[in-house]
Amino acid sequence: MKKITIDTIRSLKGANSAFATLTAYDFTSAKLVDQAGIPLILVGDSAAMVVYGYDTTIPVSMDEMIFLVGSVTRGAETALVVADMPFMSYQVSVENAIFNAGRFVKEANAQAVKLEGGVNSADHITGIVNAGIPVMAHIGLTPQSFHQMSGYKVQGKTKSTAEQLIEDAVAVEAAGAFSVVLEGIPSELAKIVTETVSIPTVGIGAGPYCDGQIQVFHDILGLFGTFVPKHTKQYSKLGENIVDTISQYRADVETGKFPEAKHSAHLKEEIINAIRSGS
């Protein structure tokens, strides 16, 4: 199939059915997500937690993200691959934002980047887009602002914060974003935002009225045992399956059932005899 572009994603705005997107962090998972027909893969900075084991998304670095993005772009033949810009890789200045977005494209073959923030990030979005790199925006509950939000809290619950959020959505569209993630906001507000902007909205914990949805790979597959976010539906309990499978392997090794003769190469009888007799 032909590689998906940002025009394809833009064309999904207001379609009859919503589109599903997902995160991935390595070659194998990207291949699987691609095979399932997902049009957009985000190499999320959620990697900080589900890949690197940090408590929040804040510590992950550009270099830690670049390696993951490179492996995902090698695995995703069709899906558009978006690289998530880690904390402090774009906030400091527009120049710094362009430089780091460029690294994702040059060094890891990403097709687009994502960054958090609305009105406050508009100049950074415009700078990156003007450098020829598509940007996906991310507003609402923005996990990199964990401390500023005093934790992971639903955003836009009052009239004034809801209006601010609509302003943020309008600002990121005007700045040139090709789509916008709406995270952790009331579903009625997500509906208003979706009706207000002409770029696709992609929701996570933002209800059913967005143009698309995004989830974390490990969450929907039941791979991340630490906690299950409220916005997630676990479609599988792969984590439990994996532990069962590894336990079977362990038991087979311990009881001599594995490996079997077919699992290795064998010497011919005459060679064994020659070795043993020293001839």
**What are the residue numbers of the active site?**
183
Cβ atoms of 42 and 4 closer than 8 Å: no
Residue 134 is a binding residue for ligand KIV (CB under 6 A): no
Query: What are the Cα distances from residue 68, in Å, to 43, 104, 108, 143, 193?
Result: 7, 10, 8, 19, 32
Q: Which of residues 16-55 bind ligand KIV (CB under 6 A)?
A: 23, 42, 44-46
Query: What are the Cα distances from residue 196, in Å, to 162, 164, 173, 224?
Result: 13, 13, 10, 35
For ligand KIV, the closer CB: 34 or 45: 45
Q: Which of residues 217-276 bind ligand KIV (CB under 6 A)?
A: none
Cβ atoms of 174 and 122 closer than 8 Å: yes
Per-position x/- string for 57-96, each x denoting binding to ligand KIV as judged by CB under 6 A, each - no binding: ---------------------------x------------
Residue 190 is a binding residue for ligand KIV (CB under 6 A): no
Q: Which helix (H) or strand (E) holds 64?
A: helix 62-75
Q: Which of 79, 181, 190, 197 binds ligand KIV (CB under 6 A)?
A: 181
For 193, other C-beta atoms within 10 Å of its C-beta total 26
Closest CB 240 distance from ligand KIV, rounded Å: 23
Q: Which residue is listed with tokens 């064309």?
A: 11
Closest CB 133 distance from ligand KIV, rounded Å: 18
Enumerate binding residues for ligand KIV (CB under 6 A).
23, 42, 44-46, 84, 138, 181, 183, 204, 214, 216
